[in-house]
Amino acid sequence: MPGLSEAFGLALGLVLAGDAALTRIVALSLRVSLTAVLVAAALGLPLGALLAVARFPGRQTVIVALNALMGLPPVVAGLLIYLLLSRSGPLGSWGLLFTPTAMVVAQAVLITPIVAALARQVLESMWEDYAEQLRSLGSSALRAVPTLLWDGRIALLTVLLAGFGRASAEVGAVMIVGGNIEGFTRVMTTAIALETSKGDLPLALALGMVLMAIVLTVNAAAQLLREWAARRLG
Amino acid sequence: MHGLPSPLPLSVQGLGFTAGGVRVLDGVTFALRDGPPCLVVGPNGSGKSTLLRLLHGLLRPTEGAVRWSAPARQAMLFQRPVMLRRSVGDNLAHALSLAGIGRDERPARIAAALDAVGLPHLHDRPARRLSGGEQQRVALARAIALHPAILFLDEPSASLDPAATRAVEEIVAGIAARGTKVVMTTHDLHQARRLAGEVLMLHRGRVAEHAPAAEFFTCPRSPEAQAFLRGDILE
Amino acid sequence: MFRRSLLALLLLAPVAVSAQERPITVSSTTSTEQSGLFGHILPIFTRETGIPVRVVALGTGQALDVGRRGDADVVFVHDRAAEERFVAEGFGTERRHVMFNDFVIIGPAADPAGIAGGRDAPAALRRIADSRAAFVSRGDRSGTHAAELRLWQAAGADPVAGRGQWYREVGQGMGPALNTAAAQNAYILADRGTWLSFRNRQELRVLVEGDERLFNQYGVIPVNPQRHPHVNAAGARRFADWIVSPAGQAAIAAYRINGDQLFFPNADRPEPAPGS
């Protein structure tokens, strides 16, 4: 297919030339998605750990809600955040609409449930193994949370990567709340959507390939880290 | 030992435990005094592990009570050792931190405990990468480092090879010799003979016999103990 | 170590805007941005005023909504009736006409409805409806959509009857609608600017052009600071002033694709009546 090979050549050219606009878009994509992952980790990991070790009324409801939120359509999340952050909305005075911060919020809202739900699964099976031993050593369930988080760090890194993958591939929500403003809120996915609407399919594909290369690199690095950790830590 | 009032004797009164409608323990009454190891024996399903967990406080009795003479610093070893995903030294340090032992005091305690199990060279090794026998010895070191007045062991050598079993038995005997009360379950009568100062035999969730080891092995009084020692299948 | 390098990455990431002036947000249409006009004229404006411009490109209806909610400082769109309503409702200070471009009727080279070469847009649409040839509509309340509906009315034809069959409303921007038309070999009304910069044409050609009823007037409206006190009223005012000034008008006239002028500044002439 000539379209594909042309796109591949174009992608390679853009990357090798260190194209300034491309670099800016890639840097913003990474900054937004990584910040969203940090936010999701700060909220989702402790929440997941708490759900894994604590038994309280309504726990099942929270778990079901989290699992349901994992499938929250990005466009719906984007629209809700748009209405919240719009000048006419309740948080309008913060002036966050059409800024990278709004995009971080949108992505964090989308991936925090994913991080929390996956972390709960990982940590709950760990807790089944650890509970007796840790309680024997005098650890309360709450005190076990940091122990589990640290011991599950490699598995949790995979969880965060799943979140990063979803965040960086997301287009609907960031398009709505970021506005795809050139040089300010344009990220790889919204740039791809834009080039597609301009009918510039090779450039769109080229950007898509750069995005895939980044996601692949990040995942490959994580895989190497996991293998190293398995050898090193068991 | 360690200048604290002894938690022993430990008195167990009418202890009962029901789980999922199954009567696991029923009217268990006995007292444990200072002295050589107490081996808890009995056929599979007689309630040995449950009894240990009730004594250690991991389970709450359905009826009856476990009464210590003084607050007991205790530790427990499980059939399958649970090692945290970090170095041997850090595994011990974590236990000491949970026990409220200050940071300054930990290195010396860790070193002494690893010496006691003959594994000082493994201090920096990732605990999960060790063999099953080594892990069980690290688990023993983790218990030793806590300076427990009483140590519960639930079939600690059930999944180990003979050499590792011997190493574990030697360490347990050493711990007992230094004044810690050892309470250990086993389904292996030979192991009980080698280690026991007294034997508590359970059968169907009740105490069948509680006697000094010499007496239990030479002239058991209960028909259950006699049958058990003959090698009959007890149900 | 991982966490530290992650932090470093975040800190080193470029901060987007560093000009002295407070930026303005322009809510505009896909045609102005995707045709490349903004890419040409906005750097000139920023160079002259120091005011960075952020463009949110949407359909005219959505673009006006963004202004209505106070999420932009100035709107720059093409649907005169809707723009005048926007000002009448108090959301904008005043509307000024800036430039026009024209719509063209595009269709497959095979031209099953036989409209090629005509200059009467409503007549062409009538033939498309009569032959039930596939027609892609924006269907998104955009200025182009509004213009298309006016032309159907002038043609005396009701495309809604063909909805779901030959009349296909995609509810998307000009580019995606053109992509759809290209894929389905359908007729479509498009603004000339987007068409000229559109790359995925396949069998599509310009079939009807030059009808005065195809002219498409753009207007600029600063958002009313009395309604939305937080807006950058000064910046918006300077933008509106500049774009109708000789400098702004010259910048618009200078933008060409392959030698073709896309937008025709007309701020210094009386505005033609809509649809005339």
List the single residue in A with minimal CA-CA distance to B128.
A234
Strands (E), chain C: 24-29, 53-58, 74-77, 96-108, 135-137, 167-169, 187-191, 204-208, 215-222, 256-257, 260-261, 264-265
Between A202 and B195, the higher pLDDT residue: B195
Instruction: Report the pLDDT averaged over residues B28-47.
Output: 92
Which two three-digit tokens encode residue C47?
């160079």
Alpha carbon distance B115, C196 (integer Å): 82
Q: Evaluate whether residue C261 is within a structural domain.
A: yes
Alpha carbon distance A181, C72 (integer Å): 12
CA distance C33 to chain A (A): 10
Domain A4-233 in CATH: superfamily? Answer: MetI-like (1.10.3720.10)
What is the number of H-type helices and E-type strands within chain A?
A: 10, 0
Chains B and C touch each other (3 or more Cβ pairs < 8 A): no
Q: Which chains touch C (3 or more CB pairs under 8 A)?
A: A
Q: Evaluate whether residue C274 is within a structural domain.
A: no
CA distance A25 to chain C (A): 10
Cβ of C56 within 8 Å of Cβ of A30? The answer is: no
Specify whether C222 is located in the same domain as C247. yes
Specify whether C115 is located in the same domain as C205. yes
| Chain A partners within 8 Å of C16 (Cβ) | 28, 100, 183-184
Specify whether C45 is located in the same domain as C114. no
Domain span holding position C109: 102-214
Per-residue pLDDT reduced to its tens digit, A18-62? 788 888 999 999 999 999 999 999 999 999 999 999 888 989 999
CA distance C39 to chain A (A): 9
Q: Evaluate whether residue C3 is within a structural domain.
A: no
Q: Is A180 on the interface with C (CB under 8 A)?
A: yes
Per-residue pLDDT reduced to its tens digit, A187-201? 999 999 888 888 887
Specify whether C137 is located in the same domain as C231. no
Q: Is C93 on the interface with A (CB under 8 A)?
A: no
Output the pLDDT for position A199: 80
Q: Which of A132, A150, A151 sits opposite B78 (nearest CB)?
A: A132
Output the pLDDT for position C203: 92
Per-residue pLDDT reduced to its tens digit, A144-174? 999 999 999 989 998 999 899 899 989 999 9
For A201-224, the DSSP string reads: HHHHHHHHHHHHHHHHHHHHHHHH
Written as one letter, the residue type at B231 is G
Per-residue pLDDT reduced to its tens digit, C166-176? 999 998 888 89
User: DSSP 3-state assignment of A25?
Assistant: helix
User: DSSP 3-state assignment of B75?
Assistant: strand
Domain ranges in chain A are: 4-233
Mutation target for A interface from B54, B76, B83, B84: give the one with most A CBs within 10 A.
B84
Specify whether C55 is located in the same domain as C148. no
Specify whether C120 is located in the same domain as C86. no
Q: Which chains touch A (3 or more CB pairs under 8 A)?
A: B, C
| Chain C partners within 8 Å of A181 (Cβ) | 25, 54-56
| Chain A partners within 8 Å of C176 (Cβ) | 196-197
Cβ of B85 within 8 Å of Cβ of A137? The answer is: no
Instruction: Provide the domain count of chain C.
Output: 2
Specify whether C18 is located in the same domain as C65. yes
Share of chain A above pLDDT 90, in %: 59
Q: Is C119 on the interface with A (CB under 8 A)?
A: no
How many residue pairs bridge chain A and chain C with CB atoms within 8 Å of each other?
89
Residue A81 contacts residue A102 (beta carbons within 8 Å): yes
Cβ of C179 within 8 Å of Cβ of A28? The answer is: no
Specify whether C106 is located in the same domain as C197. yes
pLDDT band at B9; cut points 50, 70, 90: confident
Cβ of A132 within 8 Å of Cβ of B58? The answer is: yes
Q: Evaluate whether residue C127 is within a structural domain.
A: yes
List the single residue in B with minimal CA-CA distance to A230.
B129
Output the pLDDT for position C7: 45
List the single residue in B with minimal CA-CA distance to A135.
B58
Q: Any idea what the CATH number is for the domain that residue C85 is in?
A: 3.40.190.10
Alpha carbon distance A160, A40 (integer Å): 8
Cβ of A182 within 8 Å of Cβ of C39? The answer is: yes
Q: Evaluate whether residue C5 is within a structural domain.
A: no
Output the pLDDT for position C35: 87
User: Is the pLDDT assigned to residue A4 strictly greater than 90?
Assistant: no
Cβ of C198 within 8 Å of Cβ of A93? The answer is: no
Per-residue pLDDT reduced to its tens digit, B212-226? 999 999 999 999 999
User: DSSP 3-state assignment of A68?
Assistant: helix
| CA-closest candidate to residue C179, choices C203, C148, C201 | C201
Q: Evaluate whether residue C135 is within a structural domain.
A: yes
The parts of chain C modelled with pLDDT lower than 50 are 1-19, 275-276
List the single residue in B with minimal CA-CA distance to A132.
B58
User: Is the pLDDT assigned to residue A71 strictly greater than 90?
Assistant: no
- With a CB cutoff of 8 Å and minimum separation 6, the contacts of A88 are C68, C69, C70, C71
Tokens 């070193």 belong to residue: B111
Q: Which of B82, B85, B98 sits opposite A234 (nearest CB)?
A: B85
ipTM of the complex: 0.90
Q: Evaluate whether residue C273 is within a structural domain.
A: no
Residue B154 contacts residue B77 (beta carbons within 8 Å): yes
User: Is the pLDDT assigned to residue B1 strictly greater than 60?
Assistant: no
Which residue among C176, C193, C214 closes a domain?
C214
What is the C-alpha R_g of chain A?
A: 20
Averaged confidence pLDDT in chain A: 90
Specify whether C106 is located in the same domain as C184. yes
pLDDT band at A10; cut points 50, 70, 90: confident
Cβ of A139 within 8 Å of Cβ of B98? The answer is: yes
Cβ of B94 within 8 Å of Cβ of A137? The answer is: yes
pLDDT band at B3; cut points 50, 70, 90: low
Output the pLDDT for position C113: 94
Output the pLDDT for position A38: 97
For B:82-141, CB contacts with A below 8 A are: 82-86, 94-95, 98-99, 126-129
Q: Which of A38, A92, A181 sits opposite C56 (nearest CB)?
A: A181
